[in-house]
Amino acid sequence: MGPEELRKLLESVRTRDTSIEEAINKLKMLPYDDLGYAKIDYHRHLRKGFPEVIFCQGKTVEQVAEIFKRLSRASDTNIIGTRASEEMFQAVKKHVPGAEYDAMSKMLMRRFSNTAKRGKVCVCSAGTADLPVAEEAALTCELMGNHVERIYDTGVAGIHRLLDQVDKISQANVIIVVAGMEGALPSVVGGLVDKPVIAVPTSVGYGASFHGLAALLGMLNSCASGVTVVNIDNGFGAGYAASLINKLAGDQ
């Protein structure tokens, strides 16, 4: 139940279109629903401006299906499940026929077409192997109501590819930069634009990349100002933060 629905409910109580009893029934699942293994937080949309996101990794297929089902019944907003398996998707689809799955980013979604669109978030990625993470970020932004510009495969070793795109990048309110290996791209982008940059290190690489540690450290030590960092491979986190930032710029 989102804030819009809640306001309507309370107004209809005031206008006596809804009885107290009915209102209580609708509200009683607040603030959360306790499944024993999980407490579903329907209140979250009110508090954070977006419904609960399901971090699927480490949950059983049954748990994911049950939580997704309950969230989909409780509200009419978009729903996001990250790091989901194909098998989880199959289980969810039985209960929520409109659910979708993106195999590259491993995202499980319920998506409504009437999502309002805010200004542009730009998602840059350094190499082709970084795409799953970049797509997780891009899809999260889209599901949270943002226009997304994708600029992929623009690593720093071929700097001219990046310089060609500076105009496009500059038009976004926020830039998400996804890179593995040495993770240098956010520094270069951050030096070219005057917008907040969210850097996402990926585990792409081998040897002394130490599963993304090299990229993470590189980004944390960026000599460019205005760069902040999220966890390795955390495309969702970058997309979520970018959405909160983009919201500040107001609707278009």
Q: Which of residues 84-143 bind its own copies (CB under 8 A)?
A: 126-131
Any idea which residue has 């689809």 for tokens?
93
What the block records as the tokens of 165 is: 């795109």
Residue number with CB closer to its own copies (19 or 60)? 60
Cβ proximity to its own copies, 72 vs 82, nearer residue: 82
Q: Does 191 bind its own copies (CB under 8 A)?
A: yes
Question: Which of 149, 222, 234, 220 has the alpha carbon at shortest distance from 189?
Answer: 222
Binds its own copies by CB under 8 A, chosen from 71, 121, 123, 212: 212
Amino acid at residue number 119: G
Q: Is 184 in the site for its own copies (CB under 8 A)?
A: yes
Task: Render the burial of 149-160: b for 16+ CB within 10 Å, e for the rest.
Answer: bebbebbbeeee
- The Cα 67–Cα 73 span in angstroms is 10
Closer by beta carbon to its own copies, 96 or else 188:
188
218 in contact with its own copies (CB under 8 A):
yes
Residue 13 or 32 having the CB closest to its own copies:
32
Query: Of 8, 98, 220, 252, which lies in the binding site for its own copies, with binding defined by CB under 8 A?
Result: 220
- 125: helix, strand or coil: strand
CB-nearer residue toward its own copies: 18 or 229: 229
- Report the relative pairing of strands 33-34 and 53-55 from DSSP bridges: unpaired
CB nearer its own copies, residue 77 or residue 203: 203
Only segment of 6-14, 16-24, 105-113, 174-182 that touches its own copies (CB under 8 A): 174-182
CB closer to its own copies, 72 vs 234: 234
The window from 9-17, 20-28, 37-45, 69-77 that contacts its own copies (CB under 8 A) reads: 37-45
Q: Does 55 bind its own copies (CB under 8 A)?
A: yes
Using N-to-C axis directions, what is the helix angle for 3-14 and 20-27, rounded to 10°?
A: 160
| Least distance from its own copies to the Cβ atom of residue 197, Å | 8
The answer to whether the CB of 108 falls within 8 A of the CB of 74 is no
CA dist., res. 151 & res. 161, Å (int): 10
Q: Pick the binder of its own copies from 53, 124, 141, 177 (CB under 8 A).
A: 53
How many of the chain's residues bind its own copies (CB under 8 A)? 98
Task: Kindly state whether residue 81 participates in binding its own copies, applying the rule CB under 8 A.
Answer: no
Q: 27, 54 in Cβ contact below 8 A? A: no
- E strand or H helix that includes residue 149: strand 146-151
Q: Is 151 left (phi over 0), alpha (psi -120 to 50) or beta?
A: beta
